[in-house]
Amino acid sequence: MLLEARNLCVTYRSVHGDVRAVDGLDLSISEHEVFGLVGESGCGKTTLVKALLRLVPAQTRVEADVLRFKGHNLLELPQRRFRREILMREIALVPQSAQNSLNPVQRVGAQIVEAIRAHSSTSRGKAHERVAELFDIVGLQPELMDRFPHEFSGGMRQRAMIAMALVFEPALLVMDEPTPGLDVLVQERLLRRIRAIRERVQSSILLITHDIGVIAETADRVGVMYAGRLVECAPTLPLFEQPWHPYTLGLKNAFPSILELGRELISIPGSPPDLSNPPAGCGFAGRCPFVLDVCHATRPPAVDVATGRVSACTRTADIEHIRAAAAEKVTWHC
Amino acid sequence: MALLSVEHVTKHYRIGRSLGAALRRLPPNWIKPVEDLSFSIAEGEILGIVGESGCGKSTTCNILAKLTDATSGRVLFDGEDVTHLSSAALARYRTQVQLIFQDPFDSLNPRLRAFDLVAEAPRALRLWDEPEIARRVPRMLAFVGLPPERYAQRYPHQMSGGERQRVGIASALVAEPRLVIADEPVSMLDVSIRAGVMDLLRDSSRRLGFSCLYVSHDLSILTHLCDRVMVMYLGQLLEVATSKDLVRSPRHPYTRALVAAVPVPDPSYKRPPIEIKGELAKPVNPPPGCRFAPRCPQAMTVCSTTPPMQTVAPGHTVACHAVVTALERKVA
């Protein structure tokens, strides 16, 4: 297991009280896999990434029963060692809006050379060679190293940021929303490139997005996040064929597909809970058409529902009935 | 009869050149976001525009909303030429054509309550007196799924993204427009609530009978919502078809690539190969002829002339020399 988190909680301090953005999350990522994390805005995806990379504000509490990465206990690893051994070298981030993350007044290649030299004692010449190699991996011509960011298109800038993240061949590459803002054709090309990168370097990829189409195409396993928790986790194909959690069923209903033109889209009524005042029970209970009294009172634990699959729902025993009912619009909107 | 017809509309912007270029008397640079665009929207129809950044979809919206004037060509609304309007006629036109904006977080005045946000346009256009407004606005809020007793007094920050977009729709519909222009109205919303906002738009179009021009870069959303979809590339119209025909039998090489590139929420889906090459250019000083030709796998010498729009099937038109040549060969 490359990364293992048990009962991870991240609590932001604010003047309006504490906000628990990640609330008891269990997550594990194996070597050489693409793990897709899907969820809506405010579900805690980005907070999870920030907590892993220690990018959260100083007063934020990060707690967990287990937070282990490649044999290191990340909860106790001193900051100096984290920065020297883990950040960039073992876990690297391609940030959200990566397209705007390059310095506009410095040549793209020079920025990556600088990143290499900040984290290692590589000579300028060696670093330059490495950048050329990385450009090749992400599908940019090495001549482009001497260009400025404004001479790059959005997709090219994104690929340059991926090149920078790959500098030390990290064991885990985290990509936070790599595709929004990109045009469809550019996005398709980027996803193809992500698959190719994965063949060439031995990294695992944690891909975070709200687009289940992107997940379907790239991920080996998928985690569905809602209100700070992982509500369902499964290999990609079974997850799409037979969801176990009502929220996953709802997401599938709401997402349009050009393969099913006549299908009526069904939205999920309501909105996510306020995380500064989180519900005692299941986070999805307020929007779930299959809710029982017990759902509001106690939080359902994640249980194994099939090989390699977990779902955090009290009603897993009735799943056949729930799947059939979830396909009907009246179930969600009566 | 068509509610709106756009006839050969072109929009060119002249942009700055460097001092050196000016001194050497080099020709000025032109951005040509819309080139010879013709289409029409029927009464009650939802027409989609799809295309990548810089394809001219937002410029088209701006021209129709009279936020900018076309360089040439004309726009007929209900049979009347609205290309040049007096200010009184313009005010009348603006009650009939309304906009829904992309960003429900930025497009609402944060200091107005939902009631006043919806009442803003009728007040500005002096449509009704206050008692009439007090009668109509709550009815409109209820219509878009926001019970007025709970929502009328709320400020934008007290509402979720989906609720704010419903306020945006209510303020567009309250003046009973005949055409609604929606520029990516759901792209900022979460997937689980998008479908609800799209349903609202379609149902209200059916019930109130307005036409809608719906702009998006997301083909899967458009094909679910629209009756017909038009594909634009760097200011040129390439293909128009019903949603079903466009997805099932796209003809233009660019449309074929667009359809093939759409993310599909099905892991077992086998994507058709995408043959186009190169990167999207900017619409600055575009070469004559088909603007897609430099990236087209089927480009021929004739593509340096602009291909005319040709009908390839009932209700399905394409502007492509290669498609038409292939069709003629088949007929022969």
H/E stretch holding B324:
helix B321-331
Closest-CA residue of chain B to A38: B191
Query: A121 and A76, same structural domain?
Result: no
| Contact between chains at B195 and A156 (C-beta distance less than 8 A) | no
- Specify whether A66 is located in the same domain as A213: yes
d(CA A309, CA A248): 13
Question: Looking at the domain that runs over B2-226, which CATH code has it been given?
Answer: 3.40.50.300
Extract the tokens encoding A291: 């809710």
Same domain for A105 and A24:
no
CB contact under 8 A, B192 and A217: no
Does any CB of chain A come closer than 8 Å to the CB of residue B195? Answer: yes
Domain boundaries, chain B: 2-226
Rounded Cα gap, residues B217 and B153, in angstroms: 34
Nearest chain B Cα distance for residue A211, angstroms: 8
CA–CA gap between residue A120 and residue A167 (Å, rounded) = 11
Residues β-bridged to residue B2: B42
pLDDT by residue (tens digit) across A58-75? Answer: 899 999 999 999 989 999
For residue A318, the domain's CATH number is 3.40.50.300
Q: How far is A232 from chain B (nearest CA, A)?
A: 16
Number of domains in chain A: 2
Of the candidates A184, A215, A268, the beta carbon closest to that of B192 is on A268
Question: Final residue of a domain: which of A146, A167, A188?
Answer: A167
> In this structure, what are the phi and psi dihedrals at residue A236, rounded to the nearest 5 degrees?
-60, -50
Task: Report the distance separating Cα B332 and Cα B81, nearest Å.
Answer: 42
Flag if B265 and A40 touch (Cβ within 8 Å). no
Q: Of the candidates A220, A212, A225, A210, which has an alpha carbon nearest to the alpha carbon of residue A312?
A: A225
Domain range for A185 is 3-90+168-332
Please tell me whether residues A272 and A316 are part of one structural domain.
Answer: yes
pLDDT single digits (tens) B103-138: 877 889 999 999 999 999 899 888 899 999 999 999
- Distance (Å, rounded) from C-alpha A93 to C-alpha A48? 12
Q: What is the pLDDT along chain B (332 residues), one digit of tens a residue?
A: 789 999 999 999 888 777 888 888 888 888 888 999 999 999 999 999 998 888 888 899 999 999 999 999 999 999 899 988 888 889 889 889 999 988 877 889 999 999 999 999 899 888 899 999 999 999 999 999 899 999 999 999 988 888 999 999 999 999 899 999 998 888 888 888 888 889 899 999 999 999 999 999 889 999 999 999 999 999 999 999 999 999 999 999 999 999 999 999 999 988 888 888 877 777 788 888 999 999 999 999 999 999 999 999 999 999 999 998 888 888 77
Q: Which of A132, A148, A167 finishes a domain?
A: A167
Q: Quick one: A95 and A221 in the same domain?
A: no
Closest CA to B240 of B168, B316, B174, B311: B316
Where a domain ends, among A116, A145, A167? A167
Pair type for strands B228-233 and A303-306: unpaired
Residues A126 and A81 in one domain: no
Containing B247, the helix (H) or strand (E) segment is helix B243-248
> Strand B228-233 and strand B211-216: pairing?
unpaired
- Strand, coil or helix: B227: coil
pLDDT digits (tens, 9 = 90+) for A79-97: 999 988 999 899 999 988 7
Residues of chain B contacting residue A268, judged by C-beta atoms under 8 Å apart? 192-193
- ipTM above 0.90 for this complex: no
Query: Which amino acid makes up residue A138?
Result: V
Contact between residue A190 and residue A158 where contact means Cβ atoms under 8 Å apart: yes
A17: left (phi over 0), alpha (psi -120 to 50) or beta: left
Instruction: Flag whether residue A308 sits within 8 Å of chain B, measured between CB atoms.
Output: no
